[in-house]
Structure 1
Amino acid sequence: MNSDKTNLLKETPTDHEILDLIKNRWSPRTFADTPISAADLNTLFEAGRWAPSSNNFQPWHIVWGVKGSETYDRIFNHLAEFNQNWAKNAPVLLLGIVDTKTPKGDDNYHAPHDLGQFMANVAIQAQSMGIALHQMAGVDYKAALKEFEFPETYHVATAIAIGHYGGDLEDVPEDLREAETGPRSRKKIEEFTYNGNYIKHADID
């Protein structure tokens, strides 16, 4: 593989065997030139559609735009500058939005969790299609909510860049290129699971 290309597979040192679709998924900042078709998007949204949600409220809402469209530019304009530096490489941009109220008007504290389940379904479906997602917290959520005319009780939780794996490292800011090629890491299971009471990580030998 050429050194100026991103890795399609990254080193993922798992401690236990897991599905390849999960193991090989990662979040690139550059993408292949292959377009994401309307059929691809509908397949991804269909996967998300069948995610579980509290009381089956399905509080998720997705705004999407294909590169070159007005909606794409409107989403892009509300990304943090840090993310704009590389998200411009993405063929598709999304906003993940939740309704923070139940149908009866009560607070729905589970809505962000449910959107997370929606996007997890999308991510695994995308991986099976050779499509990558990079989810971003860096978005002006208040301005984006107003831009797309959602009610004030809704919340823009995330932005998402979508494209096929691939692309040139030269399209990524130099200070981020190492993250595109280096191994992945995660906390150990012992650091976040408890067979009983909470224990500070510092107390674990």
Structure 2
Amino acid sequence: MSTNNKEIFKNTPVDHEIHELIKNRWSPRTFSDKPVSHKELQVLFEAGRWAPSSNNIQPWNIVWGIKGSVAYDRIMSVLVEFNQNWAKNAPVLLLGVVDTKTPKGDDNYHAPHDLGQFAANMAIQAQSMGIAMHQMAGLDYEKARKEFKFPDTYHVATAIAVGYYGGELSDVPEKLQDAETGERSRKQQNDFVFNGDYRETGDVKE
């Protein structure tokens, strides 16, 4: 793996050929010192804006901050220490927040799924621009909700580090460096794709 502030590729051992934007996307903990502009963030948010959502409710909300700003420091303050140790490398930090209620006041069980689609759209758009996104669950959800004054029905679901691929391996704690250089892996399709009942696997036939 190269860490010379240029585009970085990790080997992705796919079983079936997929689009290069998906194949080459990964979640680094090091980032180039090249800034991500406000305009580039608007492009990422626009990609997320056009994600599908249940009943077109669009329950997502995004909090963002550029490194050096008060908003960035506030987002950093709600991350767990483990993530603070490397997220400080990112030029941009985001929070993904969902309203857990529908406009009618019913529980919106689909809201986290919809936020996931928003983030996936952003991630593919970012990849097309040479920008990496590392999504993380390690944050104090209640502290974050209160810090940014969201109503009680809102849930801060994720934090996201954003920046151009690059940086130095020494930028991350030693115990995390293997993850930056290691082989990518995923479960096999038969572990999660079922042609009927749970665990009723079957190869897809052409």
Q: What TM-score do the two structures reach when normalised by structure 2?
A: 0.94
Counterpart of 2:85, as a letter, is N
Checking the alignment, whether the CA contact within 8 Å between 2:28 and 2:165 is kept in structure 1 is yes
- Paired residues, number: 201
Q: Is the partner of 1:108 in helix, strand or coil? A: coil
Task: Report the alpha carbon displacement of residue 200 of structure 1 after superposing the two structures with TM.
Answer: 8.4
Counterpart of 1:18, as a letter, is I
Unpaired runs of at least 5, structure 2: 202-206
Checking the alignment, whether the CA contact within 8 Å between 1:145 and 1:154 is kept in structure 2 is yes
Verify: 1:83 aligned to 2:80, yes or no.
no
Counterpart of 1:147, as a letter, is E
Q: Provide the alpha-carbon RMSD of the alignment.
A: 1.6
Structure 1 Cα separation of the partners of residues 14 and 3 of structure 2: 25
Task: Report the alpha carbon displacement of residue 182 of structure 1 after superposing the two structures with TM.
Answer: 1.2
Structure 1 Cα separation of the partners of residues 6 and 172 of structure 2: 10
Could you give the per-residue CA deviations for residues 146-183 of structure 1, whole angstroms, max 9, x where no partner exists? 00000000000000000000000000100110110111
Counterpart of 1:55, as a letter, is N
Checking the alignment, whether the CA contact within 8 Å between 1:25 and 1:132 is kept in structure 2 is yes
- State percent identity of aligned pairs: 72
| Residues 2-41 of structure 1 mapped to structure 2, 5 A cutoff | 8-41=8-41
What corresponds to 1:185 in structure 2?
185
Q: Is the partner of 1:90 in helix, strand or coil? A: coil
Structure 1 Cα separation of the partners of residues 5 and 96 of structure 2: 29
| Residues 67-82 of structure 1 mapped to structure 2, 5 A cutoff | 67-82=67-82
Task: Report the alpha carbon displacement of residue 6 of structure 1 after superposing the two structures with TM.
Answer: 8.9
Q: 1:49 to 1:135 in 2, by over 3 A?
A: same
Task: Report the alpha carbon displacement of residue 14 of structure 1 after superposing the two structures with TM.
Answer: 0.1
Task: Report the alpha carbon displacement of residue 91 of structure 1 after superposing the two structures with TM.
Answer: 0.1
| Residues 1-150 of structure 1 mapped to structure 2, 5 A cutoff | 8-150=8-150
Checking the alignment, whether the CA contact within 8 Å between 1:5 and 1:169 is kept in structure 2 is no
Could you give the per-residue CA deviations for residues 57-87 of structure 1, whole angstroms, max 9, x where no partner exists? 0000000000000000000000000000000
Structure 2 Cα separation of the partners of residues 192 and 64 of structure 1: 34
Counterpart of 2:125, as a letter, is Q
Structure 2 Cα separation of the partners of residues 44 and 180 of structure 1: 24
Q: What TM-score do the two structures reach when normalised by structure 1?
A: 0.95
Q: Is the partner of 2:89 in helix, strand or coil? A: coil
Checking the alignment, whether the CA contact within 8 Å between 1:11 and 1:182 is kept in structure 2 is no
Would you identify which runs of 4 or more consecutive aligned residues in structure 1 move more than 3 Å? 1-7
What corresponds to 1:158 in structure 2?
158
Task: Report the alpha carbon displacement of residue 4 of structure 1 after superposing the two structures with TM.
Answer: 7.8
Checking the alignment, whether the CA contact within 8 Å between 1:31 and 1:166 is kept in structure 2 is yes
